[in-house]
């Protein structure tokens, strides 16, 4: 009973810690001319889900970034959207990681498919950027790192900004996924556990970009439509924010790819293996192998 209470308190402390990190790192943001921003809050949310599971990941992202929106004075629709989307993001990352870490074939097939999707997305956005129209900010100054596309729905018009960062980030992540696939072919059989981890992380983080982008799009459309009493204007606004959501998502993946393994190993060797996701399963597998070899 005492151990369960201790475990609960420890996870509560970790949740509070990751929530505080999500709150702080959401302030680390690069604003785009459209009014959207690329921030590091999602990085903490995804990392918490990968390391500590769905509940900690969901609550940390939702609470940290939701409170950040409150502190930033955003409207109720933005605050509610953040609480919901970031909980779904962190929870789904943790849940998918737990499931995929045990399913090699399904995970590999999914990863192959996602690699193709990101490659096609890279080519499409690169083509659009090359042949797009000049883009101007709200003051009428040209923005040479972006291209503009006029979209019109239901009599309403809006300029969609496509930053050069979109194809660049998509291209970088495609290369990362490709390198992971090459690595898994070259890795020795005795490192099967490590291969499984790399594939699962790559697959889940790729899926996280899709989950976050779709969640932000549909909830922004719904909630902003209620706030403005116009679903048409809200739809245009949601479409215009898609590029920034993609950049944020892929930036999150890049940071997770760098930080996850060192942080996992630090927690594991510090004796916290019982609190981090999938660690127990790997330990048991290693014990079984040692028994068989003996």
Q: Report domain extents, the chain.
A: 2-285
Q: At what angle do helices 165-186 and 242-267 cross, to 10 degrees?
A: 40
Q: What is the predicted pLDDT for the residue at 189?
A: 54
pLDDT of residue 218: 93
d(CA 209, CA 141): 31
Give CA angle at 73 (165, 38), nearest 5°: 10
Does residue 91 contact residue 55 with C-beta atoms inside 8 Å?
A: yes
Among residues 242, 228, 218, 231, which one has the least CA distance to residue 153?
Answer: 231
pLDDT, residue 281, reads 45
At 92 the pLDDT is: 94
Residue 51 · residue 267 · CB < 8 Å: yes
Strands (E), the chain: 29-31, 37-39, 133-136, 142-153, 156-163
* 99 contacts 80 by C-beta, under 8 angstroms: no
> Which H or E run contains 113?
helix 104-131
Backbone phi, psi, residue 240, to 5°:
-65, -20
Instruction: Please state whether beta strands 142-153 and 156-163 pair in parallel, antiparallel, or not at all (unpaired).
Output: antiparallel
> pTM for this one?
0.83
Q: What is the pLDDT of residue 190?
A: 53
pLDDT value of position 287: 39
* pLDDT score, position 276: 79
Query: pLDDT value at position 284?
Result: 42
Tell me the CATH number of domain 2-285, given options 1.10.1760.20, 3.30.70.260, 1.10.1060.10, 1.10.1660.10.
1.10.1760.20
Per-residue pLDDT of the chain (294 residues; tens, 9 = 90+): 556 777 778 788 888 989 999 999 888 777 665 555 667 888 889 999 998 889 999 999 999 999 999 998 999 999 999 999 999 999 999 999 988 887 777 788 888 898 999 999 999 999 999 988 888 877 788 888 888 888 877 777 777 888 888 898 889 888 888 888 887 777 655 566 667 777 888 889 889 889 999 999 999 999 998 988 888 888 888 888 888 888 888 888 888 878 888 888 887 777 767 777 754 444 444 434 333 443
């Amino acid at each position: 009973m005492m151990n369960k209470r201790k475990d609960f308190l420890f996870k509560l402390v970790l949740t509070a810690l990751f929530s505080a990190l999500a709150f702080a790192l959401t302030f680390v943001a690069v604003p785009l001319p459209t009014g959207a921003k690329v921030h590091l809050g999602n990085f903490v949310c995804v990392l918490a889900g990968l390391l500590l599971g769905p509940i900690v990941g969901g609550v940390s992202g939702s609470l940290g970034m939701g409170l950040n929106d409150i502190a930033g004075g955003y409207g109720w629709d933005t605050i509610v959207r953040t609480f919901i989307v970031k909980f779904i993001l962190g929870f789904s990352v943790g849940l998918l990681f737990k499931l995929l870490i045990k399913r090699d074939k399904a995970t590999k097939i999914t990863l192959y498919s996602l690699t193709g999707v990101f490659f096609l997305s890279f080519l499409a956005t690169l083509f659009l950027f090359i042949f797009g129209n000049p883009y101007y900010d709200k003051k009428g100054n040209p923005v040479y790192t972006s291209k503009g596309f006029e979209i019109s729905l239901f009599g309403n018009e809006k300029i969609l900004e496509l930053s050069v960062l979109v194809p660049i980030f998509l291209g970088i992540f495609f290369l990362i996924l490709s390198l992971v696939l090459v690595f898994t072919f070259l890795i020795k059989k005795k490192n099967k556990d490590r291969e499984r981890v790399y594939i699962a992380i790559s697959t889940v983080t790729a899926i996280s970009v899709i989950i976050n982008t779709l969640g932000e799009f549909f909830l922004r459309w719904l909630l902003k439509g209620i706030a403005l009493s116009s679903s048409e204007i809200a739809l245009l606004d949601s479409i215009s924010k898609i590029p920034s959501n993609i950049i944020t998502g892929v930036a999150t993946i890049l940071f997770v790819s760098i930080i996850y393994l060192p942080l996992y190993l630090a927690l594991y060797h510090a004796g916290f293996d019982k609190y981090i996701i999938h660690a127990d399963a790997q330990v048991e597998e290693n014990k079984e192998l040692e028994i068989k070899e003996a």
